[in-house]
Amino acid sequence: MKILMLSPPFLYRFSRTSRSPAISKGGCVYYPIWMGYATGVLEQAGHEVKLIDAPANGMSSEQVQEIVKEWKPELMVFDTVTASFKNDVRVLEALKKVNPKSFAIMVGTHVGALPEESIRESVMIDAVARGEYDYILRDLAQALEEKKPLDNVLGITYRDGKEIKFTPNMPPLEQEQLDAMPFASEVYKKHLRIEDYFYPSVLFPEVTIITGRGCKFRCTFCKFPQTLTGHSYRARSPKNVVDEFEWISKNLPQVKDIMIEDDTMTQDKQRMIEICKEVLDRKLKVTWTCNARADVDLETLQWMKKAGCRLLCVGFESSDQQILNNIKKGTKIERIEQFMVDTKKANILVHGCFMLGNRGETKDTIRATVAWAKKLDPDTAQFFPLMLYPGTEAYRWASENNFLSTHNWEEWLTPEGTHNTILNTDKLTAKELVEGCDWARKEFYMRPSYILGRLKVIATQPRETRRLLMGGRTFLKYLLDIDFWKKSAASKQVKDEKNLAQGAQSKGKTEEAEPAADVAPKPIFKITQ
């Protein structure tokens, strides 16, 4: 069967696989990881598959339509997320018109959380998949090819005439099934261009893989465990993981770093150390980065360093213990601080993630978190407002308390494609959260000590230079407002619009005008000594 696996055309460099999909201010572009694994499974089952990541390679809707018109896939799979859902439905409809005999299914976190609402969006959507969809698509392709009823395909919500039907969930995939899948890196080499993908914290070029699915922790905001993979941790065997490391080192020699996108790779200490020992036993010279919690002990960190781990991506979130408790983070401030001491002892870099706007957040807790971030002093840091997605506990909390400023999925992004904050709590407005994040970045990155530290890294660790320059080039325009001159050229228009809005307000209307582009807004997070 001919199968199209499509990350639909949308904004250039938009990353659907990100935990908060958007155009990254740091230039980050994720691989279509979940689509990659599913592609491997389908090819393993004997199907002819094309994997196209349109936002990463800049392919337009018209170009994809030409491919579909000529190739005529019998099954079309559309990856989708909350912010791009409306767009992706439009792409699906356009492709169904040029290829009407095909079966169209949408996959991903958004449709998994809202299956019935999603399939009712358009009569051209034949089905949506719920949860991990590798084997769901395999079974669906077989049923379509053999013209069998779809009610035996687990994990789908599908259209049967005018009726919407649900089949039972697909059981979570276990180690034996995960080990049997083709390596994602093999799929990338066949279908994608490695250089299209970039993490600011990871050496370039890189490949991204997953060694285990699901997360036993219960963070209220985390999307994948609540909408896709679940809370049962199921992991590939250490041998299988290191087999892929070895395959990458032999077949993708240009790759400088392996990014492991497990929600928490370090949640099983024994397995983590076994992977490290396997790398060392084979005398592999590989460099890798992974997601971790801020509770990894020094012994494990030292094993990881010996086996080639260079950096950990860690969610610190907040310096306020009550906020951490509110979001069920399960970490303690004292343990986090010890973890940072231990990473420096082990000589492992840390990319720190801080999240503003969770339950209990105030301007004072934001100031305290930023001061704490500077104290922890990770190699790099990101400050994000809480991003809310259907299916998560955080989304339910915001919705039940009327904290969402919109329910229009297209407003999850700004017109430029960056994150749009739609959270207004009883203590902080969306505007204040955005300003808080902007202020936090400048506070963290514009410290003389930080700048000198990065110069030292460039001088002493040449392999980090390209990564720092590539990420910094994109990020600096947001950090330093390098677009100032462009905005200043349009400042007269902005001022005119402001004057019009002020005139409207004087007539009793309440529209809020944007500040003039060349006038700095009053900072709301200024620290007083």
pLDDT, one tens digit per residue, over 31-52 is 999 999 999 999 999 999 999 9
Scanning 307-362, the segments in alpha helix (DSSP H) are: 321-326, 333-346
Contact call for residues 187 and 14 (beta carbons, < 8 A): no
pTM: 0.88
Using alpha carbons, select from 425, 395, 28 the residue that is nearest to residue 219. Answer: 395
Give the pLDDT confidence score for residue 478 in this predicted structure. 56
Which domains, and CATH codes, for the chain? 2-166 (3.40.50.280), 184-449 (3.80.30.20), 450-482 (no CATH), 491-529 (no CATH)
Using alpha carbons, select from 311, 223, 291, 289 the residue that is nearest to residue 16. Answer: 223
270, amino acid identity? Q
Across 126-130, 141-145, 301-305, 449-453, least confident range: 449-453
pLDDT band of 396, cuts 50, 70, 90: very high
Alpha-carbon span 328 to 106, nearest angstrom: 31
What would the pLDDT profile of 142-190 be if each residue is shown by its tens digit?
999 999 999 999 999 999 999 999 999 999 999 999 999 999 999 999 9
Give the pLDDT confidence score for residue 105 in this predicted structure. 98
pLDDT band of 242, cuts 50, 70, 90: very high
Contact call for residues 404 and 425 (beta carbons, < 8 A): no
Give the pLDDT confidence score for residue 490 in this predicted structure. 39
243, amino acid identity? D
* Number of C-beta neighbours around residue 182 at 10 A: 17
Alpha-carbon span 90 to 97, nearest angstrom: 11
Contact call for residues 42 and 137 (beta carbons, < 8 A): yes
3-state SS class at 301: helix
Alpha-carbon span 156 to 109, nearest angstrom: 13
**Secondary element (H or E) of residue 477:** helix 465-479
Contact call for residues 39 and 2 (beta carbons, < 8 A): no
The sign of the torsion formed by the CA atoms of 375, 381, 386, 391 equals negative
Alpha-carbon span 128 to 80, nearest angstrom: 10
What's the chain's length in residues?
529
Using alpha carbons, select from 323, 525, 337 the residue that is nearest to residue 443. Answer: 525
Contact call for residues 324 and 353 (beta carbons, < 8 A): no
141, amino acid identity? A
235, amino acid identity? A
Contact call for residues 358 and 221 (beta carbons, < 8 A): yes
The structure tokens listed for 442 are 């400048």
| Phi, psi angles (nearest 5°) of residue 260 | -105, 110
Give the pLDDT confidence score for residue 395 in this predicted structure. 98
- Give Cα 362 to chain centroid, integer Å: 26
Report the percent of the chain where pLDDT is more than 70. 88
Alpha-carbon span 406 to 466, nearest angstrom: 40
Alpha-carbon span 439 to 444, nearest angstrom: 9
What would the pLDDT profile of 268-302 be if each residue is shown by its tens digit?
999 999 999 999 999 999 999 999 999 999 999 99
The larger pLDDT score, comparing residue 34 to residue 510, is at 34
487 has pLDDT over 80: no
Distances in Å between the alpha carbon of 291 and those of 196, 258, 265, 308, 312?
A: 21, 12, 6, 15, 6
Average pLDDT, whole number, for the chain?
Answer: 90
Distances in Å between the alpha carbon of 113 and those of 107, 150, 447?
A: 10, 21, 42
Alpha-carbon span 399 to 406, nearest angstrom: 10
* Number of C-beta neighbours around residue 79 at 10 A: 24
